[in-house]
Amino acid sequence: MLNKFFLPLGFTLLALNACASSQIKLELQSSPSINQGLKYLEQEQFGLAVDVFTEIIADDAEDAEAWLNRGLAYYGLRLHEQANADFEKAFESGFEPTSADMFVKRGRAYSIGGNFERALEDFNEAISIAPNHSEAYLRRGHVYTSLGEILLAISDLDQAIALDRSSALAYQKRGFAKAQLEDYDGAIADFDTAVALDPQFTQAYFDRATAYTELGDFGKAIADHDRVLELDPQNVLAYYNRAKAYDDQDDLEQAIRDYTRAIQIFPDFSTALYNRGNAYLRSEQYQLAIADYERAIALDPEFGGTYVNRGNAYDKVGEYGLAIADFNRALELNPQRFLAYYNRGITYRNLGDLEKAIDDWTQVIFLRPEEASAYFYRGLTYNELDESERAFADLKMAMNLGLDPEFIQAAEDILEQLDS
């Protein structure tokens, strides 16, 4: 996702120690390229901007501002390593701001590199030089958001918008900040304004989709992700988030399609593999689920949830030993993972090892005393062992806690038998 950047269009040429005629010749050759590069940056034609500033750097490797501008272009292309290298080179070459615009530009470089303290210093200096510099407030607000200072961020973004109501970026940044406070309606209002001002603003659609998801309005979230993918067909996170929205609506076929597209773009996307595995599991495509979980584990072997769900898939295909091994591994990673105990109990029950099953559901109840289904399964198993009093107590507790509808009839039938 690319944010829309607002950049100054000019900069002061360094004086040249040469005769007047040669200086005039150099200025005529260099000025159009500099201005064209800055214009490309403003238009988000980052590849072309890189080409222009690379040519300037080839002519003068000490041109600190060219390094800085090329770094901004690389950042727009999401080439963060190259961007940071160029920013470092600009600072090594002695880039020193001489105007509010230049302080804002250097502050952006510091911000991109994660040096928020230095970024704030530069934005503060820009505002002291030019108190009505809307972009300085905008950029400082963004840094405050990154630091978790959301109220300060919103205050700055309010000021940026008051100074420039045509800035789609300021509305998008303020909407994002409001979303951090869970003011999703307010966030959506700002994203609405952002896309009205700039109908091509991919990030604003993406952020609005996230806000709609938080409100449970999956239809509108999907529509916004559709728009993101019209504008940026390789946006892996848009495919992933749209898949999650379909998943939340139990549209597993569409979810699997979008997870698959995300994985095609980014084959090492372990979370997409995990969630596609979950969708396959829910749609009873167990071998496909196991294959996805295996790939996810290879990429992220420390996430216990994948072992739990692969264990569930193994249980469904009758591979009980493999299932128990996965539940055991999940518990090695996190002994408090109640779902590993819960599902291992089911597998032990499928194996006929009822005492171990009861032990696991007892551990679930210890960790989650309100887990009605653990009481149900333990009560069911006590009943099979002819421990009527314990069975009755557990099944009664399960009903009192609010048992899932799929279990209620079975619990009522057993309670009626035990009570007769």
Higher-confidence position of 33 and 282: 282
Distance CA 351, CA 237 (A): 41
Question: Within a 10 A sphere around the Cβ of 175, how many other Cβ atoms?
Answer: 26
Mean pLDDT of 358-366: 98
Angle between helices 338-351 and 320-333 (to 10 degrees): 160
Contact between residue 410 and residue 380 where contact means Cβ atoms under 8 Å apart? yes
In this prediction, residue 404 carries a pLDDT of 93
| Contacts of 374 by beta carbon, 8 Å cutoff, 6+ apart | 342, 345, 361, 364, 365, 368
Bigger pLDDT: 24 vs 285: 285
- Give the pLDDT confidence score for residue 210 in this predicted structure: 98
Token pair of 93 as six digits: 């070459």
Q: What is the pLDDT of residues 125-175, one digit of tens each?
A: 999 999 999 999 999 999 999 999 999 999 999 999 999 999 999 999 999
- Tokens representing 22 are 């040669």
Q: What is the DSSP code string of 265-318?
A: H-TT-HHHHHHHHHHHHHTT-HHHHHHHHHHHHHH-TT-HHHHHHHHHHHHHTT
C-alpha distances in angstroms, 28 versus 13, 24, 58, 295? 11, 6, 17, 57
For the segment 340-358, the average pLDDT, to the nearest whole number, is: 98
Buried b (16+ CB within 10 A) or exposed e, 47-60: ebbbbbbeebbeee
Torsion of CA 385, 390, 392, 393, to 10 degrees: -160
For residue 151, what are the CA distances in angstroms to 116, 125, 158, 222, 293?
Answer: 17, 21, 10, 30, 41
Instruction: Show the tokens assigned to 24.
Output: 């005039």
Closest-CA residue to 374 (of 348, 352, 351, 343): 343
Domain extents in the chain: 370-420
**Residue 13: what pLDDT?**
23
Is residue 225 within 8 A of residue 238, CB to CB? The reply is yes
CB atoms within 10 A of CB 366: 12
Residue 221 to residue 227: CA distance in whole angstroms: 10
- Which residue type sits at 397? M
Q: What H or E segment, with its residue span, contains residue 9?
A: none
Model confidence at 14, pLDDT cuts 50, 70, 90, reads very low
**What would the pLDDT profile of 40-88 be if each residue is shown by its tens digit?**
887 778 999 999 999 999 999 999 989 999 999 998 888 888 988 998 8
Is residue 167 within 8 A of residue 6, CB to CB? The reply is yes
- Residues 143 and 135: beta-carbon distance below 8 Å: no
Q: What is the pLDDT of residue 88?
A: 86
Average pLDDT, the chain: 90
256 is written with which tokens? 């699997």
Long-range CB contacts (< 8 A, 24+ apart) of 225-228? 228/1, 228/202
277 within 8 A of 308, measured Cβ to Cβ: no
